[in-house]
Each structure stands twice: as structure tokens, then as C-alpha cells.
Structure 1
Amino acid sequence: MQPQIKEHTHGTAHALVDQSEQELRVSTLELFFDLVFVFTITQLASLLARDLSAAAAAQVCLIFIVLFWMYGGYAWLTNQVPPVSTMRRVLLIAGMAAFFVCALSVPRAFSGTGLVFGVGYLLVVLVHGGLYAQVHGRAVLRFVPFNAAGAACIIIASQLNGALVYVLWAAPIALQYAASYLAGRVGENQRAGFDVRPGHFVERHGGLLIVAFGESVVGVGIGLADLTLDLKTVITAVLGLVLAAALWWVYFGSDEKQAEAHLRAAAMNDRVRMALVGYFYAFVPMLLGVTSLAAGVKLTISTIDARLSLGPALLLGGGVALYLVGDSIFRRTMRIPGSVYRLSAAAVAAATVVLGTMLAGLAQLLGLLLTVAAMLVLEARNR
């Protein structure tokens, strides 16, 4: 059933009044959009697996943050304006295509396809601005200039070399922070589209996270195609799957439902802040953690019974640690108790790098799995 939306025109802006917030669910087109976006995560994991340098890690972080910011812009917009009309659907598909172009250019975004990425990103920004302006009019001027300036920085960076390239890639992130600060200051203006429908918002981001987990598992499975399917390979693949399932449990065990309830109970200004911090700033390390873990498992499969080099061990331990730190930030933001367990487990996860480099990849994977499982058991006992 489609949600019933009434539109009231006030000058150039439109106020949307949701007659049944509980009926507003994530549409299949939005899920399709998320699948395309998660291809970016797959590309970033492959980039990490091919290049374990600090430069590659910095590139992955920069690419992901600038793209995830715009993903959040689309998610926030469809939370306010469901894609039920033909024009909105066409524009959303156009935005999807622009994201796909960006994802395709990820592997060499800093060394050859930066211009393609920059143009694709500019299209992402412009399509989002067009969708937003269609409903909220001139309120679009509060953030589109920041996003467009960020895209221009990336395009300029594609024509340069050296450290300045990284500075220009970091510029959009600073501009995004400025835009989010502005959004927080105008959060009381619901007609500007800065309110949040909790049910849809939580469902949308939960769906993104589960698709990211799924893509990481698929990526590992594809990586097995060229390997002999012996016992150690099967054990590694299964351990990677079970570890991903444990991390799924970390968030979906209780966080999702409690987050929705607390968002729903919050005043509008507070709800906007909670949504921004919880589903952007906290989700950045969570999704980067999934990306890092996927890359680490890919590199570990063929050497599961041997000592790991520092790079793969850092990807495994750091990936789980990042995810748990992000979830801890998420819990504190959403006023869910128990974040201290997540931080403690993150520290232990980071320490498992020693297991990988001194013993074997199998030992580190087992250590990570036991760490997350023990954390979940302790939390359950102390509720």
C-alpha cells in the first residue's frame, strides 16, 4: 500500500504531511538504488585487497565518505518524498546511474579515472538537487552549493598530481560538514525537508547494511573461484560467513528496534541530530569496517594456515574494530545502553592482529569470532 501524502504549497516550497507514517515503507526502487550503491563497497574492498598501502587506505576512506554523504542525501529525501510519481522515479534512476558511473571508476579514481568519477559525482549532486527543488523549492540552496563545490574539487583534483590531490578530495568532506551544520541549525523547519520519518529511515539504513554484508560474502565467494576447494578453504569461507553473521547480530539483534523507538520519541530538532550522527557519522566506520573485513578475508583464504603479513591482519582486526566502534557511537547517539561492551570488544579485535601475524590467519579469524560472540553473551546477561 502506498503512503497517503498531501502536499500544501507555501510560496515556492511544499510541505509534505504524511497521513500514515507507519505505512511508509522502503520501496523496491529504493532497494534497487541501495544495491547499486553497495557496488561501491565491493569496488573499495577490491581496491584494498590489491593495494595494502597507506595511500590506498586513505583513498578508500575519502572515496567512501564523499559518496556515502550523497547516498544519505538521497535516503533523507526519499524519506520525506516517496518515489511514487513517474518524474521522481526517473530522477532517482538517473541518480542511480550516476552512482554506478562513480563506482565503476573507483579502482583508478586517483590515478586515471578521476575525471569520470568527478563528472559522475557532479551528476549525483545535480540530480539530487533537482529532486529536492521539485518539492522544497529554494530550500535547496542551503546545501546544493556545498555539494557542487565538492564535486568541482574532485574534478580539479583529477587534473593534478601529488599531495594536493588528497587535499582537494578532503575538501568535499569539509564542505559536507558545513552543510550538515547548516542542516542542524534549520532543523526546526520541517518544510525544508530536515525532519525524519523514523520507521522508513531506520529500515532504509538497515537494508543498506544487510546488503553490504551480503555483497561482502558474495565477493569472498567469487574470490574462491580460482582456488582449490579443499578443507582449509571451506573452513576459511565458513568462518568469514559466521563472523559476518555475528556482526549482523551486533546491530540487528536489538539496535535497530530501539533506535526506531528512540527516534520516534525524540523532539524534531533532536531527532534530526540523532539521525545525522547515528546514520552518517556512526555508519561511516561501520560500513568501512565491513569493507575492510571483506578485503581481509579475501587475502586470508589462500594462506589460512600460515602467518599473515601485517596488511591482511590489520584489515581483519581493524575491520571488526571499526565496525564495533561505529556501533558504539550509534548506540550512544540513539541512547541505547551497552556501548562500553562494544568499545572493549573493539580493543580486543584490534589486538587480534598479533594472532594473525604470530600464529595464523585461522587463529585470528577464530579470535575475532570468539570476541564478538563473548561480547554478545555478556551483554545479554547484563541487560
Structure 2
Amino acid sequence: MAGTTVRNWLRAKGSPGSSKVTFLELFFDLVFVFSISQLSHALAAHYSLLGAAEAALMTFAVWWMWIFTAWVTNWLDPEKMPVRAMLIVLMLLGLVLSSSIPEAFGDKGLLFAGAYVLMQVGRSVFTAYAVRHSSHSNYLNFTRISIWLAVAGVFWIAGGLLEHEARLIAWVIALAIEYAGPASGFFVPGLGKSSTADWDVSGAHMAERCALFIIICLGEAVLVSGRTFSEMPFSPMTGLVLVTSFASTVAMWWLYFRFGHERAAHRIEHEAKPGSMARQAFTYAHIPILAGIIVDAVAVEFIFSHPHEVGDLGIAAVILGGSGLFLAGNLWFKGATSGKAPLSHLAGIVLLILLTFLVPAVEIYVLGILAALVLVIVVAWEYRSLGSAAPAPTLH
């Protein structure tokens, strides 16, 4: 009887609607969109090499937390009460984690680390328990993952007790351990290692999870530009910056959704080893996509505040870097799911690199317009190349 009860916590694979993202998963994402907002504000407020390194580390941590949970809900059914309770607890801890981001390298380091470790280890231990009767291979997988996350957790907590650069070093070690886990198959002496063949995932669910998260993050970027615009006196310049930032966000939306996620869902759903492709296309390739959205939101704030500055390499790096990271992520994502890197994205990255030579000669707002124009050019190029091909059908 106990085995039957636990087995009911899993999604009914293959049944109609079994891969559909639930409302609770979307509700869960709201906490992490708050994290993205906090990260962009933290980077803007502490914009320096050290501040950028700290923001990058926290971005990697937040993404790793979110994507691991997305993998878990690929197997576990959020409509089942135990799974629902687990996600709600994760939301509460995620709210604590998100709230502590601005002071994660200050007075709230231990709070950030404690919430993170509880979320990572707690979720993995719960999943190992949930699948123990239904899938021995996945039970071993999540047991190994729990051990790796617990080892990394020692460095997270130690970093929370340390200060300044020592905290950064401890957390870099913790994050390196976590990111090395999948590449090593989460090898544990006596328990062996995982194989991507063991990770039988629903490509439609993974694609929809990531797509909905990205569109919510793009929505947050729209809110940032709208809020900043509303707080400033109206002028032709603020209006121009608003239109530029909106055009850039729309171009990002188009590049990801027009020829990206649906084709990826179709491809992965028919892949012999979906776990391998899911790890490449969703777990890793989405990191620069997310980072590009965060950096672009910071760029918008800087352009509104300093439209006429010339030659500021720091602000220029954010303006060009946001678009560049987003294009690089999409290049990786589409290349992993189609087997062919889109030439339009490569050309866009080259154009952004060439724009760096104009930094000493043009004002910040002009550089923002040019960066947005590069995204629009990539959109037009890709549409001209692939526009006649209908997107792959949505697998619902």
C-alpha cells in the first residue's frame, strides 16, 4: 500500500495533458522572478568588477535552484498534495533567499546560504524518497545528487559565516561543486554514477517550463523600463529610450519564441536520449539567455540615467553585453536542438563586438539604439531564412 501511495506522487507519463505545466509551477516561478528583479537591482547598485562577479555568482545559484526544481516536477506531479506542499515550502524559502540577495555579501550572507542549502538538499531528499519504490535508477540518482548538494552546502554555510572576499571564494567553490555534478554523473563511491539514459524526461514539459520562465523574465524587463520611465520627467529623450528598450525586449521575445522553444520541444520529445539534450539545451544553454535579460534590464536603467555620457566603458559593456549574452545563449540553445548554429546569431555577436570600437565616440543612448538595432537585424535575418517554415506544433 505504501508503494502505491508514493507512486501516485509521480506524473502519469503518456496520458493527455500529463506534460502540461501546472498553475502551481507558475505560482512558484513568481518567487524566482522576484529573484531576477533583485539581481538586476543589486548589479545596478553595486556596479563594479567585484559587484558583477557577485551578481554573476548569485545568478548561477538562482538558476541552478530553479532548473533543478523544473527537472523534479518533470517527474513528480504538482497536483499531488505532498508534492504541492514541498513546492510551497520551497516558495517560502525562495522568498527568504530572494529578499536577502541585496545584502547576500553583507549582513544577510548566512540567511541567503541557509535558505539556498535547505532548498537544494531538502528538495532532492524529498524526490529520492518519492521515487524510491517506482524507479530504482532515479532513486540512486537523487541520492547521489543529495550527497553532492550536501557537500556543496558545507561551503555555502561556511561562506555565510565568513566575510568579504573569503565569502566569495567559499561560494565559488560551492557553486563549482554543484555545476561539476552533472558532468561527472554525480559520481559517489559505492553508488556509482548517473547516466543521461536514466533521465527520461518530457521534452514538452521542459520546453514549456523554460519558455514560461523566460517570458515572465522578459515581462519583468518591460516593467523595469516602464517603472523607470514613469519616475522620470517626460522628455523626447526618455521617450526615445523607452521605445528603444521596448524594441529590444520584443526582439528578444521574437528570437526565443518564433523559432526556438517549440522546435526544441518537438526535437527533444522524439530524441532517443532526451536527458542528454535536455541537460545541454535547457540546463546550460539558458544560463546566458537569463543573464542577458538581467544585464539588459540594468542597461536600460543606465541609459535612462546617463543618456549623454560618452566613452564610459563600464556602461557600454552592459549595453552591448546584455544583447551579446542573449544572442550567445540562443545560439547555443538552437544549435543544441537543431544541430546547426544559426548564422544570423553569429553575425549579430560579431556586429556587437564591432560596436565596441564606437564606444569612445558615441553617446550612451546611441549605443543603446545600435544594440537594439543589431537584435532587430538578427530577427529580420532569421525570419527571412526560416520564415517560410512553420513552427513545430505545440505538444499539448
- TM-score normalized by structure 1? 0.90
Aligned partner of 1:177 in structure 2 is 179
On the 8 A contact 2:248/2:376 being kept in 1, the answer is no
Count of residue correspondences: 371
Q: In structure 2, what is the Cα distance between the partners aligned to 1:63 and 1:304? A: 28
Q: 2:331 aligns with which of 312, 328, 349?
A: 328
Measured at CA, do residues 248 and 12 of structure 1 come closer, stay the same or move farther in structure 2, by a change above 3 Å?
Answer: closer
1:280 aligns with 2:280: no
Q: In structure 2, what is the Cα distance between the partners aligned to 1:38 and 1:308? A: 33
* CA displacement 1:70-117 (0-9 Å, x = unmatched): 211110111111211222111101101111111111112112211000
Equivalent runs, 1:313-324 vs 2, <5 Å: 313-324=316-327
Q: Which amino acid aligns with 2:195?
A: V
On the 8 A contact 2:352/2:371 being kept in 1, the answer is yes
Q: In structure 1, what is the Cα distance between the partners aligned to 2:179 and 2:22? A: 29
Q: 1:187 aligns with which of 187, 193, 196?
A: 196
Aligned partner of 2:367 in structure 1 is 364
1:59 aligns with 2:54: yes
Q: Which amino acid aligns with 2:269?
A: R
1:377 aligns with 2:386: no
On the 8 A contact 2:12/2:18 being kept in 1, the answer is no
Q: In structure 2, what is the Cα distance between the partners aligned to 1:15 and 1:299? A: 46
Q: In structure 2, what is the Cα distance between the partners aligned to 1:163 and 1:355? A: 35
Please report how far the alpha carbon of residue 180 of structure 1 lies from its aligned counterpart in structure 2 after TM superposition. Answer: 1.0
Q: Which amino acid aligns with 1:263?
A: I
Please report how far the alpha carbon of residue 127 of structure 1 lies from its aligned counterpart in structure 2 after TM superposition. Answer: 3.2
On the 8 A contact 2:6/2:130 being kept in 1, the answer is no
* CA displacement 1:235-290 (0-9 Å, x = unmatched): 1112101101101111101111110111012113xx11111111121111111111
Aligned partner of 2:13 in structure 1 is 18
Measured at CA, do residues 128 and 296 of structure 1 come closer, stay the same or move farther in structure 2, by a change above 3 Å?
Answer: same
* CA displacement 1:40-96 (0-9 Å, x = unmatched): 111111111112211111111111112211211110111111211222111101101
Aligned partner of 1:263 in structure 2 is 268
Aligned partner of 2:37 in structure 1 is 42
Please report how far the alpha carbon of residue 12 of structure 1 lies from its aligned counterpart in structure 2 after TM superposition. Answer: 10
Which runs of 5 or more structure 1 residues have no equivalent in the other structure?
Answer: 1-6
Aligned partner of 1:197 in structure 2 is 202
Aligned partner of 1:236 in structure 2 is 241
- CA RMSD in angstroms comes to 2.4
On the 8 A contact 1:308/1:357 being kept in 2, the answer is yes
Please report how far the alpha carbon of residue 329 of structure 1 lies from its aligned counterpart in structure 2 after TM superposition. Answer: 0.8
Measured at CA, do residues 230 and 76 of structure 1 come closer, stay the same or move farther in structure 2, by a change above 3 Å?
Answer: same
Q: In structure 2, what is the Cα distance between the partners aligned to 1:327 and 1:135? A: 34
Aligned partner of 1:4 in structure 2 is none
Please report how far the alpha carbon of residue 353 of structure 1 lies from its aligned counterpart in structure 2 after TM superposition. Answer: 4.0
Equivalent runs, 1:1-383 vs 2, <5 Å: 17-20=12-15, 22-137=17-132, 138-139=139-140, 140-181=142-183, 182=185, 185-189=194-198, 194-268=199-273, 271-307=274-310, 309-335=312-338, 337-383=340-386
On the 8 A contact 1:255/1:336 being kept in 2, the answer is no
On the 8 A contact 2:203/2:268 being kept in 1, the answer is yes
Q: In structure 2, what is the Cα distance between the partners aligned to 1:108 and 1:358? A: 37
On the 8 A contact 2:293/2:326 being kept in 1, the answer is yes
Which runs of 5 or more structure 2 residues have no equivalent in the other structure?
Answer: 133-138, 187-192, 387-396
Please report how far the alpha carbon of residue 131 of structure 1 lies from its aligned counterpart in structure 2 after TM superposition. Answer: 3.3
